[in-house]
Chains A and B, each alone.
Chain A
């Protein structure tokens, strides 16, 4: 059983398009996250979200928006894609008050052409 699953694994799209990446966790965690890893391999937090609050990294453009239909899902929607959005996007989850760290998905490699 995959704990945190992301789809698609690879996504190639043209500039200006709108795309979504889906994330699902079956761990019963109450908080989910999106991270971006750029070509220099730096991992940066984009969003954290639970049923209480959405915390947005102020450096994230408003073209990026998280959408959570329920506690087990946190999708990432991106409008008007740009070349600089090319990166690997990781979803993660954790439990408030838990001491077992974050569980990450295997990533979605987005290439904007």
Chain B
């Protein structure tokens, strides 16, 4: 699976949009971009994923550049409960089994009152 690069930490004011960048310059054509987060002492939580089109769900939006070498996770109105470590992962396919998730160091997002 392709490697990803994320900033180690970011701050965001409560109520503002949090924009978390991820670089994945070696991504292959069949690799998806996944985002997970881990709130302190809890298990990781799936947020969103995409292949090449932008995606939106009830939690966040995912913007993938046209060349697919980078992406941005957007939390439109950050709350204190969004404070967590956010992981950007690229992985072959949309399924399970041998296509295992490999976690990097992630970005520690702190939402500030």
Give Cα distance in the complex from A50 to B95, angstroms.
12
Query: Taking each of B34, B41, B100, which has the highest tally of chain A beta carbons within 10 Å of its own beta carbon?
Result: B100
Given the complex, which residues of A lie within 8 Å of B97, measured CB to CB?
A: 31, 48, 50, 52-53, 55, 96
A105 CA / B41 CA spacing, docked (Å): 11
Chain B nearest CB from A44 CB (Å) reads 8
Hey, which chain A residues are within 8 Å of B68, CB to CB?
Answer: none
* B96 & A98 in contact (Cβ 8 Å cutoff): yes
* A31 contacts B42, C-beta separation under 8 Å: no
Q: Does B101 contact A (CB under 8 A)?
A: yes
B7-39 CB contact bits vs A (8 Å, 1 = yes)? 000000000000000000000000000101010
A75 within 8 A of B: no
What is the minimal beta-carbon distance from A80 to any residue of chain B, in angstroms?
26
- Interface centre among B96, B97, B105, by most chain A C-beta atoms within 10 angstroms, is B96
Report whether B42 and A43 are in contact in the complex, using a CB–CB cutoff of 8 Å: no
Residues of chain A within 8 A (CB-CB) of B36 are: 101-102
> Measured between alpha carbons, how far is A68 from B100 in the docked complex, in Å?
18
Specify the main secondary structure of chain B where it touches its partner. loop
Closest to B49 in A: A101
Contact check, B100 vs A100: say whether CB atoms are below 8 A apart. Answer: no
Q: Tell me, in angstroms, the Cα distance from A41 to B42 when the chains sit together.
A: 12
Provide the A1-37 mask, 1 if CB < 8 A to any CB of B, else 0: 0001000000000000000000000000111010100
Query: Are B103 and A42 closer than 8 Å at their CB atoms?
Result: yes
Bound Cα distance A36, B110 (Å): 24
Q: Evaluate contact between A97 and B94: CB separation under 8 angstroms.
A: yes
Contact of A45 with B by CB under 8 A = yes
What is the minimal beta-carbon distance from B37 to any residue of chain A, in angstroms? 11
- Kindly report which residue of chain B lies nearest to residue A106, judged by CB atoms: B43
Most chain A beta-carbon contacts within 10 A, residue among B44, B49, B98: B44
12 contacts between A and B (CB under 8 A): A33-B100, A42-B105, A43-B38, A43-B44, A45-B100, A48-B96, A48-B100, A90-B44, A94-B95, A99-B49, A101-B36, A102-B44
B interface residues (Cβ-Cβ under 8 A, vs A): 34, 36, 38, 41-46, 49, 85, 87, 94-98, 100-103, 105
